[in-house]
Amino acid sequence: MATVSAVVGQEQFDLVKEKLSKNKTFARRNNKAHTYLLRALVSCGRCKLCCIARTQTGTNKKYKQRYYVCSGKQKQAQSGLQEKCPSRHAPADQLVELVRKDLCEVLTHPESITDALQRAHGGHWLPQELKARQENLREGRAALGRQLERLTEAYLGEVIPLADYERRRRDLEQRDEALSGQERQLQAQAQQRTELAGVVGSVEDFCERVRGGLADATFEQKRRLVELLIDRVIVTDEEVEIRYVIPTSPESEHVRFCHLRSDYLHNPAPWQ
């Protein structure tokens, strides 16, 4: 029988075994005693690691306090950090209440989302401004076309020499190409505005539908909602940053943001 040498040492094997055991213990499917609305969505702003949901029982065993604790406070073998993260424990109930209020505010005032969409799409052009600019460009190109016709007639009538004709023709063609490029850019902006109008309507409709059922939603319904709308809650001491992802079409209401990211598996973001 052939002898196969060990791929990893005994110490590494024991550490991996311990980590797998902890992962199994803290997995959501195995944790039936406590429910955490923001489970796996909270990250530490100091060390960029994820925060683990924990419940600590007081000395009288009746008082229980729930926290989100940075995983950087674990052993080096588990966190990968040289020193334990100095971040504070984040009280879970207070954090959830803060996120709930902010989420309700976002859903109640979807114009903050639509304004951001318009800024992202360069929506500073008003429809009448777009039309006026497009008309000016068309008139400019038409004028250049007439100049080129007159120039060609002058050359054919032997009014100007060939060298002068070719130089002036190149200049007119370059100016026409520049205007043509501006026309294409404005056309793209007009198309973006048309698409954006549909997106804005979809976002407003989504916010209205979700807002109507939020008050009576069960925990599982709220959990699915925060998984859909929140990519990450980053806690840095007393500061909290909420990174939202809002569905922009009915189809995207059923897909989590992390599944849409092309770099999710191969180049994940530091918030893990």
pTM above 0.75, yes or no: no
Structure tokens at 169: 């023709």
Which residue(s) pair with 232 in the sheet? 243
Residue 174, Cβ density class (10 Å: 0-12 exposed, 13-18 middle, ≥19 buried): exposed
Asked if the structure places residue 7 within a domain, the reply is no
Asked if the structure places residue 48 within a domain, the reply is yes
Number of domains in the chain: 2
Which residue(s) pair with 234 in the sheet? 43, 241
Q: Are residues 197 and 229 in the same domain?
A: no
Q: Are residues 83 and 128 in the same domain?
A: no
Each residue's pLDDT tens digit, 198-232: 666 677 777 877 777 777 788 888 888 888 888 89
Question: Which residues, other chains included, contact 181 with Cβ-Cβ below 8 Å and sequence gap of 6+?
Answer: none
Q: Are residues 37 and 101 in the same domain?
A: yes
Domain containing residue 161:
121-211
Asked if residue 127 has pLDDT above 80, the reply is: no
Of 74, 16, 77, 18, the C-alpha closest to 47 is 74
Write down the H helix ranges in 80-126: 92-108, 111-120
Q: Are residues 232 and 164 in the same domain?
A: no
Q: Are residues 205 and 242 in the same domain?
A: no
Each residue's pLDDT tens digit, 47-90: 888 898 888 776 666 667 888 999 888 766 455 667 888 888 89
